[in-house]
Amino acid sequence: MTRMNRQWRLARRPMGEIQDGDLELATVPVPALEEGQVLVRNVYLSLDPTNRIWMSDMDQYMPPVQIGEVMRGGTVGVVEESRDPNVPVGARVVPWLGGWQDYAIVPGSVCNQIPPGFPMSAILSSMGLTGVTGYFGLLDIGQPKAGETLVVSAAAGAVGSIVGQIGKIKGCRVVGIAGSDEKCRWIVNDLGFDAAINYRTEDVGAALDRLCPHGIDINFENVGGEIMDAVMARMSNFGRMALCGMISQYNASGPVSGPKNFTAILMRRLTVRGFIVSDYMDRWGEAVAQIGLWVSEGKIKYKVHIEQGLEHAPQTVKRLFTGDHDGKLLVEVSPPPPGG
């Protein structure tokens, strides 16, 4: 019996928010493997704000997904067939960008096997994609020192929540900006942030004035736009801004003007640096090992929000832009093996 593969393909570039019809579901037969290839059954698909960038043709850090191509996305899965002697059938693997589909065919050589004991969902969150993002963004660019003030936007998100906890481990005063009272309570009460600001109900600038009386030394920025303007206006001399994301701007239909107070970079001698987690590929293991240790010690907590069904991926990805999710957002494409 021919194995069939459902694939979400980019049908047209979204204008503003993602709409029905921007992606279309195709069902195609899985071709036979070539020498060296493996067939991975995707178990979890990672949904990330950067997906919206890839759908657009804006200036970006990888080629945009082309119209008609399978939508790009990070996955973890189980090897169902293998023509690579180093990758056995049944192995739990990271095919890196396995895509919005039931099955990915990739060279066995690019598949990292997931060590025993690691839950597959962790590989796309705290001990993988988003955790590593937070780890290097904060430590390498933010250069946190004990006693400094760190402000994190999208602080209850998959990246922000890790960043704030690493900030606490490093001795910083950590203030998070999030989109609901519930999220604010979670980051303060459960994750140990010093304070939180609900940007939907509070004046962010006034709250930062109150909560960061000595200014802001480090900004880990996931949002951009007005929230970043409010933070930037309060940066201390020699402050560092790690630009991880600009989710407030990804649905814009054209270039968005830069921050209102760009000259603050000069006047306060700020360092503003953008990064993409894949820049740190050669140091990935260092981050995962350290985060894994912190998780085992109870110093880092994380949440995973799993939605069922590849068929719902286009609806599910929208939750990133409305904040209607609770932790790292994944789609369960197929059942995980026993043990997760």
Is residue 19 a contact residue for a second copy (CB under 8 A)?
no
Is residue 255 a contact residue for a second copy (CB under 8 A)?
yes
- Residue 325: C-alpha distances to residues 9, 18, 275, 277 (Å): 24, 17, 25, 22
Backbone angles phi, psi at 282, to 5 degrees: -75, -5
**DSSP assignment string, 126-152:** TTSHHHHHHHHIIIIII---TT-EEEE
Is residue 152 a contact residue for a second copy (CB under 8 A)?
no
Is residue 257 a contact residue for a second copy (CB under 8 A)?
yes
Q: Minimum CB separation from a second copy for residue 62, in Å? A: 9
Separation CA 78–CA 335 (nearest Å): 10
SS3 (DSSP) at 234: coil
**Tokens, residue 5:** 């593969």
Separation CA 176–CA 203 (nearest Å): 14
Is residue 276 a contact residue for a second copy (CB under 8 A)?
yes
Q: Minimum CB separation from a second copy for residue 58, in Å? A: 8
Which range touches a second copy (CB under 8 A), out of 4-12, 15-23, 173-181, 243-251?
A: 243-251
Q: Minimum CB separation from a second copy for residue 13, in Å? A: 17
| Binding residue (CB under 8 A) for a second copy from 267, 281, 289, 293 | 267
Is residue 275 a contact residue for a second copy (CB under 8 A)?
yes
Is residue 260 a contact residue for a second copy (CB under 8 A)?
yes
Separation CA 234–CA 128 (nearest Å): 32
| Binding residue (CB under 8 A) for a second copy from 13, 269, 283, 312 | 269
Is residue 244 a contact residue for a second copy (CB under 8 A)?
yes
- Residue 255 amino acid letter: P
**Ranges within 300-339 binding a second copy (CB under 8 A):** none
Q: Minimum CB separation from a second copy for residue 67, in Å? A: 20
CA angle, 48 then 136 then 277, to 5°: 40
CB of 118 or CB of 275, closer to a second copy: 275
**Tokens, residue 44:** 């979890």
279 DSSP assignment: G
Q: Minimum CB separation from a second copy for residue 26, in Å? A: 29
Residue 78, beta-bridge partner list: 41, 92
Is residue 139 a contact residue for a second copy (CB under 8 A)?
no
Return residues touching a second copy (CB under 8 A).
53, 58-61, 224, 233, 237, 243-246, 249, 255-276, 279
